[in-house]
A and B are shown apart, each in its own frame.
Chain A
Amino acid sequence: MAEREKRPRPAPTPTNITQPFWDAVNDHKFLLQYDPEADKYQFYPRGISVHTGKRNLEWREVTGKGTVYSYTETVIPARGFEGEEPYLIVAVDLEEGVRLMSLLHNSATEDVKIGMAVKLCWDKLDEEFEYFAFEPDR
Chain B
Amino acid sequence: MINPLANKDIAIIGYGEVKNVRRSGRTTYDVAAEATSNVLEYTGLGTKDIDGMATVLPSSEAGNNFWSNYLGDHLGLQTSWTQTTDIGGASMPGNVARAAAAIQSGYCETVLSIAAATPTTRRADDQRSYRSEFRNPTGIQGPPGAFGLIMHRYMHQYDLKFEALGKLAVAQRNGAVVNEYAVEGLRKPMTVDDYLNARMVSTPLRLLDSVMPCDGANAIIITTTERAKKLGVKNMAHPIAYSELTNFNVHEQLPDITETGFSIAGPHALGKAGMSPDDIDMFHPYDDFLIAEMLQLEQIGFCGRGEGSEYLLSTDISPTGKLPINTGGGQISAGQPGLAGGQMNIIEALRQLFNEATDRQVPNPSTAMCTGIGVIPYVRNWGSSAVLILERG
With contact pairs A41-B253, A97-B254 given, residues A75 and B133 touching in the complex (Cβ less than 8 Å): no
Give the Cβ gap from A54 to chain B, nearest Cβ, in Å. Answer: 14
- For chain B, the count of residues having a C-beta within 8 Å of the partner chain is 35
Once the chains are docked, how many angstroms separate the CA of A14 from the CA of B150?
28
Please state if B145 and A44 are interface contacts (CB–CB under 8 Å).
Answer: no
Give the Cβ gap from B221 to chain A, nearest Cβ, in Å. Answer: 40
With contact pairs A42-B253, A72-B202 given, residues A89 and B152 touching in the complex (Cβ less than 8 Å): no
Measured between beta carbons, the chain A residues less than 8 angstroms from B137 are 9-12, 80, 125, 131
Chief secondary structure at chain A's binding surface: loop
Please state if A75 and B140 are interface contacts (CB–CB under 8 Å).
Answer: no
Please tell me if B250 contacts chain A, counting CB pairs below 8 Å: yes
Please tell me if A26 contacts chain B, counting CB pairs below 8 Å: no
Contact pick for B138, options A50, A93, A101, CB 8 Å: A101
With contact pairs A18-B133, A40-B253, A87-B139 given, residues A74 and B202 touching in the complex (Cβ less than 8 Å): yes
Please state if A13 and B133 are interface contacts (CB–CB under 8 Å).
Answer: yes
Please state if B136 and A70 are interface contacts (CB–CB under 8 Å).
Answer: no
Please state if A78 and B142 are interface contacts (CB–CB under 8 Å).
Answer: yes
Residue of A nearest to B258 (CB): A70
Which residue of B135, B140, B250, B257 has the most chain A CB atoms within 10 A of its CB atom?
B140
Q: How many of chain A's residues touch chain B, expressed as a range? A: 35 or more
Contact pick for A79, options B136, B144, B199, CB 8 Å: B136
Give the Cβ gap from B235 to chain A, nearest Cβ, in Å. Answer: 43
Please tell me if A73 contacts chain B, counting CB pairs below 8 Å: yes
Measured between beta carbons, the chain B residues less than 8 angstroms from A102 are 138
Please state if A72 and B254 are interface contacts (CB–CB under 8 Å).
Answer: no
Residue of B nearest to A14 (CB): B133
Measured between beta carbons, the chain B residues less than 8 angstroms from A71 are 149, 152
Please state if A44 and B133 are interface contacts (CB–CB under 8 Å).
Answer: yes
Measured between beta carbons, the chain B residues less than 8 angstroms from A100 are 379
Chain B contacts with A in 116-157, Cβ cutoff 8 A: 130, 132-142, 144-145, 148-153, 156
Please state if A101 and B139 are interface contacts (CB–CB under 8 Å).
Answer: no
Please tell me if B162 contacts chain A, counting CB pairs below 8 Å: no
Chain A contacts with B in 11-54, Cβ cutoff 8 A: 11-15, 18, 40-44, 50-51
Question: B: which residues have CB within 8 A of A?
Answer: 130, 132-142, 144-145, 148-153, 156, 199-205, 250-251, 253-254, 257, 378-379
